[in-house]
């Protein structure tokens, strides 16, 4: 095998050539003494890596110089970062220690190098993505974002020079890049780097598709360039005539974004119309930026017809990562849609270089969205409750998702994650507004709490002093802030209500001459099938247990206390039983002859035909018909089984039974009319009473209706649920509860 001959002199010259190119890239940010500092870092790196070579056979020093070059040229970082980029591998791969670095270059450089060394283990070639390590890496991001920016430069160079790597490592690095590094670059506003990382990942993970799209783009390159020239020419003329200084060019879309579009819309390459975007970069004074951008927009849309649905204004409300630009899609000269991006030089630098450019323009954007983002990351990382893997999912969901901008009625801007609801918005304004929210008006139209907000919606929250957070709200909200507030409110609210209920119950028991002691409280909890005494107090306060229910309890206790079994004449019960049973059956048929047999429908459960029922012989009050799932059924059946009579309904349809329906929804013109039409006309059901309460756009009603049986009732409920604006229709058991 022929031995590889290395010309060390040629290599030495190449290293110096690359070093000089790096110095030229740093020139813009260099201050006095910086050049010497960079030289010192370069010499240390050169010495430390002198015997090391890359997989390609090249000297290892090419890699740190290239990473420093990317940091300076493509991200726009300053001297500290250039020094760190040159030294980013020395502590990990050579004999140099962090103490050596600190002694030579100071604390700041040592801290960043330490961060870079720590996070290299997160994605080393032997480990898969470890959530806990990822969390540590982001803690470093919260300390000094330069660690991540240099790591991105390092990854970009590795991806650019990956052809000499073994296939398994290519796939592994590509997967990590698409999973984490590309979204991170996007979030930090580094759009050029994000697109290149996506394309390079695709080159290795979906090589054939990548090559196919690349070849297709090359085939039509000349034709596309002519189209771009034809499109730009008239725009340039008018812009110059208006005294605007601009640079206009066509920028091809990335292969990865074209592939995404093909997949998303399920279309072939030929049908992807926006293979490129026209970019207009204006040279504007800071106070004229916004006006100049809109002026340019006006010129473009005078020349070419815009698509009104495709205007994106990130100048008035920049993205969280600081991105500012005006995007529109217009119909080009050959009947083809073309995306046009309008921005100033400053905006373009922030779009290309992301976070780094923010430092340069810090004075003009002290409350930059990115600072808020880093602050949010810090909050999430310090949350002791979050499990590492859940955290990773939350992080990707909350921080890599697109955001939407929502306006308050006074025009203030609130930023929320995609899929946020009206209720999320309420909690974002203030916990108290969220907790008392009963509905919302979006663009002046009433919507329910779970309404998913769209970019640019104007939202007015409707609150009520009576409202408190509900359990099902947890399924409505998506922001972590809203979820946490609802959970703590529910606990606190239940405790408060239970305290009130305790006092109410004490008064009610006193008026019914029931001793208020722990024994009776436990008995009551058991009687109402509740799991704790707190639940009992809570139900009393909420009106779910009232005087009538307590009387039922007293009655059941009194039967035991005052009417023991031996006091009821056995023959009396037997006589009653004989009178209700038919000749050939021991089942009581309800509805057959109500005049002859003395029975009543129990108020505690209000049975109607179709319900499973039984008869219960009372003393002095004839037979009571209860539903088998009546709250009192178990006690009656277990303690007084000898008084229970089997019962079923006859099939007589003309009998009508009274039952109650509770209806809730969002108030709308003619809602009651729609409801009564369904009940009276469609179902031929008589209404005995209707009570309606409408508060701030929320409708609540109780309707007492006469129905034939459960099937009749179920069909009516189904039909009522289809009425627009109705959110729930439920049957309630007791007539008294309607009031």
Catalytic site positions: 92-93
Chain-centroid distance, C-alpha 41: 45
d(CA 717, CA 429): 37
* Sheet hosting strand 644-649, strand order edge to edge: 588-590, 644-649, 613-617, 623-627, 599-601
DSSP letter (8 states) at residue 679: I
Beta strands in 315-409 (DSSP E): 326-331, 337-344, 403-407
Query: Which class for 513: exposed (0-12), middle (13-18), buried (19 or more C-beta within 10 A)?
Result: exposed
Tokens of 47: 């010495």
Task: Give the H or E element holding residue 154.
Answer: helix 146-160
CA quadruple 312, 315, 319, 324: dihedral sign: positive
Nearest to 425 by CA among 401, 456, 399: 456
C-beta separation of 25 from 79 below 8 A: no
Asked if 71 contacts 82 with a C-beta cutoff of 8 angstroms, the reply is yes
Distance of CA 493 to the CA centre of its chain: 25
Q: Is 226 exposed, middle or buried (0-12, 13-18, 19+ CB in 10 A)?
A: exposed
Distance of CA 238 to the CA centre of its chain: 44
Report the C-alpha gap between 150 and 81 in whole angstroms: 7
- H or E, element range at 600: strand 599-601
Beta bridge partners of 461: 440
CA proximity to 317, closest of 326, 304, 308, 309: 326
Decide the pairing of beta strands 623-627 and 599-601.
Answer: parallel
- What is d(CA 329, CA 58) in angstroms, rounded to the nearest whole number? 46
């Amino acid at each position: 095998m022929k031995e590889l001959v290395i010309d060390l002199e040629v290599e030495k010259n190449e290293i110096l050539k690359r070093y000089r190119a790096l110095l030229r890239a740093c020139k813009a940010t260099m201050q006095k003494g910086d050049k010497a500092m960079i030289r010192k870092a370069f010499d240390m790196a050169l010495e430390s890596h002198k015997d090391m070579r890359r997989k390609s056979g090249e000297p290892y020093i090419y890699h740190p110089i290239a990473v420093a070059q990317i940091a300076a040229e493509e991200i726009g970082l300053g001297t500290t970062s250039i020094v760190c980029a040159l030294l980013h591998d020395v502590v990990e791969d050579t004999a140099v220690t962090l103490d050596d670095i600190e002694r030579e270059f100071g604390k700041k450089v040592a801290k960043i190098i330490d961060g870079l060394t720590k996070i290299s283990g997160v994605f080393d070639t032997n480990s898969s993505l470890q959530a806990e390590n990822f969390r540590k890496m982001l803690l470093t991001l919260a300390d000094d974002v330069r660690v991540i920016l240099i790591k991105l430069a390092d990854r970009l160079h590795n991806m650019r020079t990956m052809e000499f790597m073994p296939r398994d490592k290519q796939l592994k690095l590509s997967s990590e890049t698409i999973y984490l590094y590309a979204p991170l670059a996007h979030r930090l506003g580094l759009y050029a780097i994000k697109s290149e990382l996506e394309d390079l990942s695709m080159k290795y993970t979906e090589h054939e598709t990548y090559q196919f799209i690349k070849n297709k783009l090359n085939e039509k390159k000349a034709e596309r360039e002519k189209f771009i020239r034809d499109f730009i020419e008239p725009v340039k003329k008018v812009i110059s005539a208006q005294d605007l200084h601009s640079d206009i060019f066509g920028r091809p879309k990335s292969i990865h974004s074209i592939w995404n579009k093909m997949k998303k819309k399920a279309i072939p390459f030929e049908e992807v119309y926006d293979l490129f975007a026209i970019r207009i970069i204006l040279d504007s004074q800071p106070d004229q930026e916004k006006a100049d951008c809109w002026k340019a927009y006006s010129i473009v849309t005078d020349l070419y017809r815009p698509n009104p649905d495709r205007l994106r204004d990130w100048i008035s409300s920049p993205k969280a990562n600081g991105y500012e630009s005006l995007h529109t899609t217009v119909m080009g000269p050959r009947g083809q849609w073309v995306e046009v991006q309008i921005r100033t030089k400053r905006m373009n630098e922030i779009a290309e270089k992301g976070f780094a450019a923010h430092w340069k323009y810090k004075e003009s954007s002290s409350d930059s969205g990115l600072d808020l983002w880093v602050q949010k990351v810090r909050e999430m990382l310090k949350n002791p409750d979050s499990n590492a893997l859940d955290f990773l999912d939350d992080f990707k969901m909350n921080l890599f998702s697109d955001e939407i901008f929502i306006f308050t009625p006074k025009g203030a801007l609130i930023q929320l994650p995609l899929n946020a609801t009206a209720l999320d918005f309420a909690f974002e304004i203030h916990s108290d507004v969220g907790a008392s929210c009963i509905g919302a008006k979006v663009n002046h139209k009433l919507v329910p709490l779970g309404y998913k907000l769209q970019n640019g919606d104007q939202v007015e929250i409707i609150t009520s002093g009576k409202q408190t957070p509900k359990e099902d709200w947890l399924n409505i909200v998506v922001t972590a802030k809203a979820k946490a507030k609802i959970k703590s409110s529910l606990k606190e609210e239940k405790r408060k209500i239970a305290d009130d209920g305790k006092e109410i119950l004490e008064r009610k028991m006193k008026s019914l001459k029931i001793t208020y002691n722990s024994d009776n409280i436990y008995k009551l909890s058991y009687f109402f099938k509740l799991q704790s005494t707190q639940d009992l107090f809570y139900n009393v306060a909420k009106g779910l247990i009232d005087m009538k229910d307590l009387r039922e309890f007293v009655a059941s206790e009194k039967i035991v206390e005052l009417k023991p079994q031996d006091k009821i004449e056995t023959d009396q019960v037997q006589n009653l039983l004989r009178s209700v049973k038919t000749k050939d059956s021991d089942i009581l048929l309800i509805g057959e002859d109500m005049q002859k047999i003395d029975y009543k429908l129990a108020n505690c459960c209000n049975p109607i035909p179709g319900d499973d029922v039984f008869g219960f012989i009372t003393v002095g009050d004839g037979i009571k018909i209860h539903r088998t799932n009546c709250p009192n059924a178990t006690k009656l059946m277990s303690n007084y089984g000898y008084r229970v009579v089997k019962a079923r309904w006859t099939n007589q349809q003309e009998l009508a039974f009274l039952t109650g329906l509770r209806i809730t929804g969002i108030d709308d013109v003619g809602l009651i009319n729609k409801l009564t039409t369904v009940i009276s006309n469609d179902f031929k059901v008589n209404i005995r009473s209707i009570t309606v309460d409408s508060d701030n756009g929320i409708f609540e009603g109780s309707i007492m209706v006469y129905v034939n049986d459960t099937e009749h009732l179920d069909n009516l409920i189904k039909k009522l649920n289809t009425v627009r604006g109705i959110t729930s229709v439920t049957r309630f058991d007791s007539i008294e509860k309607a009031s």
